[in-house]
Amino acid sequence: MSDIIFNLYKFLECPNLKLRCPSWVKTPSPMFVFTVIMIFYFGITSGVIYDIVLETPSIGSRVDAQGHSRPVAFLPNRINGQYIMEGLAASCMFALGSGGFIMLDQLHSRQIMPRFTRMLLTGVALLSALVAFFVCRIFVKIKIPYETAAATDINKAVIGSNEGINRDNFNIMTASRRQCAAYGCQNYTNKCPAQTRFHRFPENRERCEDWARRIFRSDLLGKKNEARWKNAVVCSHHFPDSMYVCPDQRHEPGVRLMPTAYPTLQLYKETAEPYRC
C-alpha cells in the first residue's frame, strides 16, 4: 500500500527556495521570551478579557448592619464574577507561585553555585510557592464559601462563619432541610426553585420581632423564643426588589438585603389580616 501511495506522489518535488532572513531579524534571547510569556500569563489569569468585555469596576461596596457602605475588593460567592483589583491580586499570586517553581527548576539544573546561595534561593522559591498556595486558598474560600458545607454544620459553614459571609443570607448549597418561617410557605432549603434565596433573621431583637409579626409567627415572639431566631429563615419570595442592596442581582448567590428590609410579599394571611406597623 505504501508503494502505491509513493508512486502516486513520485512526480512531486520539494521546492528549493532560497530565502534570506532580513539582517534586522534576530533570535530573541531566552529572558525576553520568558518576560513576554509572563506578561501574557499575568494578563490572562487576571481576567483582563473579562474586564474589557464586561467593564467591571475596580472594587465594589457593601452595606453593613449599621447601614454604612464599605469597600469590597473581592466579589464573594461568585466564581464567575470579579472586580479588577481581585483579578490583579490573584494574578500576582499565580505569578509568584510560578516564579517559585521556575526558580527551583533552575537551581537543580545548574550545578556550579555556592552552597549558601543555593540554599538561600531554594528557601525563597519554596516560600514563594507556599505563600501563593495559601493566599490563593483564601481567595477560593471567599469565592466558594460553601465547598465544605455539606460535611459540616450549616450554622458554621454557611450562616455563621467568620469568612466574610453575610449572616443575613445563605444559599441552597447544602443538603440540610430547613423550611421558610413565613406562615403557610412550603419552600425548603433543599427543595425549591433554583433562584430562591433564604435570609436569616436580623441580629437586632426589635427587627426580629417585627419580622415574626409580619410573617404571622406569634410562636417566635417573646424572650423565651430568641434561640429559635438563629435557625429561622425567610425565603426571597417574600421580599420585593426594593428591599435588596442590588435589586437586579436579587437571584445571585450572596445577594444582600437592605439593613431595614422586612418581608411583605406572598404572606399567607396578608389579605385577611394585614399587618399594621
Predicted confidence at residue 93, as pLDDT, reads: 92
- Contact between 207 and 234 (Cβ < 8 Å): no
Predicted confidence at residue 94, as pLDDT, reads: 92
Predicted confidence at residue 127, as pLDDT, reads: 93
Predicted confidence at residue 68, as pLDDT, reads: 67
Per-residue pLDDT of the chain (277 residues; tens, 9 = 90+): 677 777 777 777 777 777 787 888 788 888 899 999 999 999 888 888 888 888 888 887 766 556 667 788 887 767 777 888 888 899 999 999 999 998 888 887 766 778 888 888 889 999 999 999 999 888 888 877 543 343 333 344 333 333 333 444 444 333 356 788 888 887 887 777 667 888 888 888 888 888 888 888 888 887 777 777 777 888 888 888 888 888 777 777 677 788 888 888 877 654 434 333 3
Sequence-distant (6+) residues with CB within 8 A of 195 are: 236, 251
Kindly report the number of other CB atoms within 10 A of residue 16's CB atom. Answer: 5
Predicted confidence at residue 66, as pLDDT, reads: 60
DSSP, residue by residue, 66-106: TS-EEEESS-TT-TT---HHHHHHHHHHHHHHHHHHHHHHH
Predicted TM-score of the model (pTM): 0.47
Predicted confidence at residue 59, as pLDDT, reads: 82
Q: How big is the CA angle at 67 (ends 61 and 73), to the nearest 5 degrees?
A: 15
Query: Helix axis angle, 84-109 relative to 115-143, nearest 10°?
Result: 150
Predicted confidence at residue 222, as pLDDT, reads: 76
Predicted confidence at residue 269, as pLDDT, reads: 52
